Amino acid sequence: MRVLLTTTVLALLTLAIIFLRVFWSRVPEKVRSFLVYAGVAMILLHVAFTVSKWSTTSDRLNSIINWGAIAGYVLIIVLFTLQNPRWLTTISAGILLVPVFASSILLPLRDLFNPDSPAITRIDNRYVYEKNLWREPGENQNSGADLMVFYQPHFLPLRRKVQRATFNDMQCDASASSANIDHKRKIIHFHCPALSSPAGSSSIDLLLPLH
């Protein structure tokens, strides 16, 4: 449901920007400059966060930044069609807009419409882990949990992702999974307890390096 809602909102946003492009010459110059610079700034901010693996401590704010970057990208691409030759720039813009609706782009954007906040657990005074429970749509009802470990200093509202693990409910009790850190060995221990049924299932332990 959230994927459908995200796709719909993204499509409406794209149509609104295309509509804005039609009347772009009537938009005051200061407003045009602000929209372009704001779009570029959001793109650069998103790229900086992605490359450095840093983010804010608010998942909702992170999602807003993602949406701002996508809106900025669409705006720049749509305005590109104002250049000559129009037929070539229009075709190029259409091709460049297609990846915006790819699943790798849509999935992070849907977090804005998630009414539930992910569970945050502090490991020690420097590290926390976030547990996101997920369920795929369809008849199979595949579900599980994503665990992400962050370095989170107390004095900044920022955090840096250091490691991640995914567990499936068909393999173990993903909702009860957890993470811990062995600082001496510089490893992160992800643990997913065994299912209560069927009999014979076992727990899953992952040891991943602490970056």
Distance CA 35, CA 207 (A): 46
Whole-number pLDDT of residue 137: 66
CB neighbour list of residue 26: distance below 8 Å, 6 or more residues apart: none
pLDDT for 201 beyond 80 = no
pLDDT digits (tens, 9 = 90+) for 80-92: 999 999 899 999 9
Q: Which residue has the higher pLDDT, 73 or 143?
A: 73
Token duo for residue 54: 């840093």
In the block, which residue shows the tokens 């920007």? Answer: 17
Helix (H, G, I), strand (E, B) or coil at 153: coil
Read off the pLDDT band of 54 (50, 70, 90): very high
In the block, which residue shows the tokens 């075709």? Answer: 91
How far from chain centre, in Å, is Cα 55? 10
Tell me which DSSP letter residue 25 carries: G
pLDDT for 139 beyond 80 = no
Whole-number pLDDT of residue 200: 57
| Average pLDDT of every residue of the chain | 89
Q: What average pLDDT score do residues 168-184 get?
A: 92
Predicted TM-score (pTM) of the model is 0.84
Q: What average pLDDT score do residues 98-125 get?
A: 82
Domain edges within the chain: 2-113, 119-209
| Residue 122: its H or E element | strand 119-122
